[in-house]
């Protein structure tokens, strides 16, 4: 009874002082945050950032991840240069540093706008209205959302709410569905961010076909994380460089993770078979495209006494259509000019539909 009476008395005293205690806790939290910012500010690896109105590039020299860099004895710093409205497509192997790089750029921007020094040799930054991120992969069982549905919901928020003053960080968007659908969504989202929104964007992806956007849009450029391959061994340099990556080294990473050797060897065989098939298709595809793309039916013959000789392949017409020679020559010329190596399946279908409509008129 005595202990309970003492407990009730202490509880009453705390309740009477609740407002003062909560105010004190808030002040201590502010002091703790300011002390943390001040402590790292005097360190040799932090600098005071400069701000500009947003028309200039977001520039970071020798940037570091503020948490990962402290946890590792050796950390490779990297630069960042994002002009206004630009999209950087980042490719490279898993574990090479793509996600860490994107996160460190985002954290540097947040630290700077909170009034703190940033982990870099120098930083010239725009004033951002928001930083949007779509990273990681997890489902929402309680909410009834699959991994892909949650990914698409977050992407929807970004595409609706981002502005030209935003920073957007996207990590492997589209990986939760089929390769064709995922690539189509990733490309369409990238085009929308560049063409309609104009937000500075870092987009890490394993869709190497997506890197062709850099040749089609002035504000899109490629970055990659370098690796050195020596036989079956791969060494990640964690260094960002210009241009697209030549390989994702997925099989090598699987071996490093301890996947059974039989699975690794079978994976290599399948990759080699796929590359051989792709090479053979690339050799025969232009001829097939010139025939199939023009809507040619090579099995169709005209059995009449007055019929003219059949035109050569590539100049035949669809049944019921009679384009003049000028149209036929123009369509054939357009087919010859199509770069199949840089044409996505969706673009090829759209182009084929366009040509078919012209022939059918």
Report yes or no on 354 lying in a domain: yes
Amino acid 293: pLDDT? 46
Amino acid 67: pLDDT? 92
Of the candidate ranges 26-30, 281-285, 292-296, the one whose mean pLDDT is the lowest: 292-296
Query: Long-range contacts made by residues 21-30, C-beta under 8 angstroms, separation at least 24?
Result: none
Residue 86 to residues 104, 162, 167, 241, Cα–Cα distance (Å)? 18, 14, 10, 17
Same domain? 15 vs 54: no
Query: What 3-state class would DSSP assign to 8?
Result: helix
Same domain? 149 vs 294: no
**Mean pLDDT: which of 4-8, 136-140, 311-315 is highest?**
4-8
Kindly state the average pLDDT of the residues 56-83. 93
Amino acid 339: pLDDT? 64
- Using one digit for the tens of pLDDT, what is the confidence trace for 302-351? 344 444 454 444 444 444 445 456 667 777 777 777 766 556 656 666 67
Helix (H) or strand (E) holding 264: helix 261-292
Task: DSSP for 109-172, please give it.
Answer: HHHHHTT--BSSSEEEEEPPS-EEEE-S---BTTTTB-HHHHHHHHHHHHHHH--TT-EEEEES
Query: What 3-state class would DSSP assign to 62?
Result: strand
Report yes or no on 269 lying in a domain: no
Of the candidate ranges 100-109, 175-184, 188-197, the one whose mean pLDDT is the lowest: 175-184
Report yes or no on 204 lying in a domain: yes
Of 216, 242, 259, the domain-final residue? 259
Of 220, 243, 259, the domain-final residue? 259
Amino acid 82: pLDDT? 96
Rounded to whole angstroms, the Cα distance separating 33 from 288 reads 65
How many structural domains comprise the chain? Answer: 3
Kindly state the average pLDDT of the residues 210-220. 93
Per-residue pLDDT band for 189 (boundaries 50, 70, 90) equals very high
Amino acid 285: pLDDT? 56
Amino acid 148: pLDDT? 84
Q: Write the CATH number for 99.
A: 3.40.50.300
Same domain? 154 vs 104: yes
The residue ranking higher by pLDDT, 45 or 145, is 45
Largest Cα separation within the chain, whole Å, is: 120
Same domain? 252 vs 297: no
Judged against a pLDDT cut of 50, whether residue 180 lies above it is answered with yes
Q: How far is CA 181 from the centre of its chain?
A: 15
Show Cβ contacts of residue 197 under 8 Å, excluding neighbours closer than 6 positions: 159, 162, 163, 164, 166, 168
Report yes or no on 201 lying in a domain: yes
Q: Which domain holds residue 166?
A: 50-138+145-259
| Residue 308: φ, ψ to 5° | -80, 160
Sequence-ordered strand ranges (E) for 72-144: 78-82, 87-91, 122-126, 131-134
Amino acid 269: pLDDT? 86
Query: What 3-state class would DSSP assign to 10?
Result: helix
Kindly state the average pLDDT of the residues 72-100. 92
User: Position of tokens 């357009």?
Assistant: 334
Report yes or no on 349 lying in a domain: yes
Amino acid 170: pLDDT? 94
Same domain? 156 vs 296: no
Amino acid 83: pLDDT? 95
Report yes or no on 272 lying in a domain: no
Of the candidate ranges 108-112, 236-240, 247-251, the one whose mean pLDDT is the lowest: 247-251
Residue 93 to residues 135, 147, 204, 252, 357, Cα–Cα distance (Å)? 16, 22, 11, 9, 43
Residue of 196, 188, 195 lying closest to 170 (CA atoms): 188
Residue 261 to residues 229, 253, 265, 269, Cα–Cα distance (Å)? 18, 12, 6, 12
| Residue 300: φ, ψ to 5° | -85, 130
Mean pLDDT, the chain, rounded, equals 82
The residue ranking higher by pLDDT, 143 or 146, is 146
Same domain? 8 vs 28: yes
Report yes or no on 118 lying in a domain: yes
Same domain? 194 vs 172: yes
Same domain? 76 vs 19: no
pTM for the model: 0.70
Amino acid 144: pLDDT? 59
Same domain? 32 vs 80: no
Report yes or no on 280 lying in a domain: no
Same domain? 335 vs 243: no
Amino acid 341: pLDDT? 55
Same domain? 69 vs 7: no
Same domain? 306 vs 342: yes
């Amino acid at each position: 009874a005595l202990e309970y009476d003492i407990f009730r008395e202490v509880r009453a005293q705390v309740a009477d002082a609740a407002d003062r205690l909560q105010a004190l806790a808030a002040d201590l939290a502010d002091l703790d945050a300011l002390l943390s910012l001040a402590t790292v500010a005097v360190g040799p690896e932090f600098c005071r950032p400069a701000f500009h109105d947003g028309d200039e590039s977001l520039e970071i020299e020798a940037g570091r991840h503020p948490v990962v860099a402290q946890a590792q004895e050796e950390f490779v710093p990297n630069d960042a240069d994002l002009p206004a409205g630009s999209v950087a497509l980042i490719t490279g192997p898993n574990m090479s540093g793509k996600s860490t790089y994107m996160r460190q750029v985002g954290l540097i921007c947040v630290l700077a706008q909170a009034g703190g020094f940033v982990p870099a040799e120098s930083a010239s930054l725009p004033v951002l209205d928001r930083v949007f991120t779509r990273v990681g992969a997890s489902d929402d069982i309680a909410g009834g959302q699959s991994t892909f549905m949650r990914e698409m919901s977050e992407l929807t928020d970004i595409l609706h709410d981002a502005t030209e003053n935003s920073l957007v960080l996207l990590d492997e968007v589209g990986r939760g569905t089929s390769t064709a659908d995922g690539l189509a969504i990733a490309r369409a989202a990238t085009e929308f961010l560049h063409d309609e929104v104009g937000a500075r964007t870092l987009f890490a992806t394993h869709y190497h076909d997506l890197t062709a956007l850099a040749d089609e849009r002035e504000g899109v450029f490629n970055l990659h994380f370098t690796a050195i391959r020596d036989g079956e061994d791969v060494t990640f340099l964690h260094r960002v460089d210009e241009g697209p990556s030549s390989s994702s080294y997925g099989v090598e990473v699987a071996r490093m993770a301890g996947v059974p050797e039989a699975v690794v060897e079978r994976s290599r065989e399948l990759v080699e078979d796929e590359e051989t098939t792709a090479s053979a298709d690339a050799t025969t595809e232009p001829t097939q495209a010139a025939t199939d793309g023009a809507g040619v039916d090579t099995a169709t013959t005209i059995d009449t006494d007055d019929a003219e000789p059949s035109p050569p392949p590539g100049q035949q017409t669809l049944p019921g259509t009679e384009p003049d020679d000028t149209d036929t020559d123009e369509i054939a010329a357009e087919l010859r000019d199509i770069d199949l190596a840089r044409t996505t399946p969706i673009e090829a279908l759209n182009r084929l539909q366009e040509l078919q409509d012209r022939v059918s008129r």
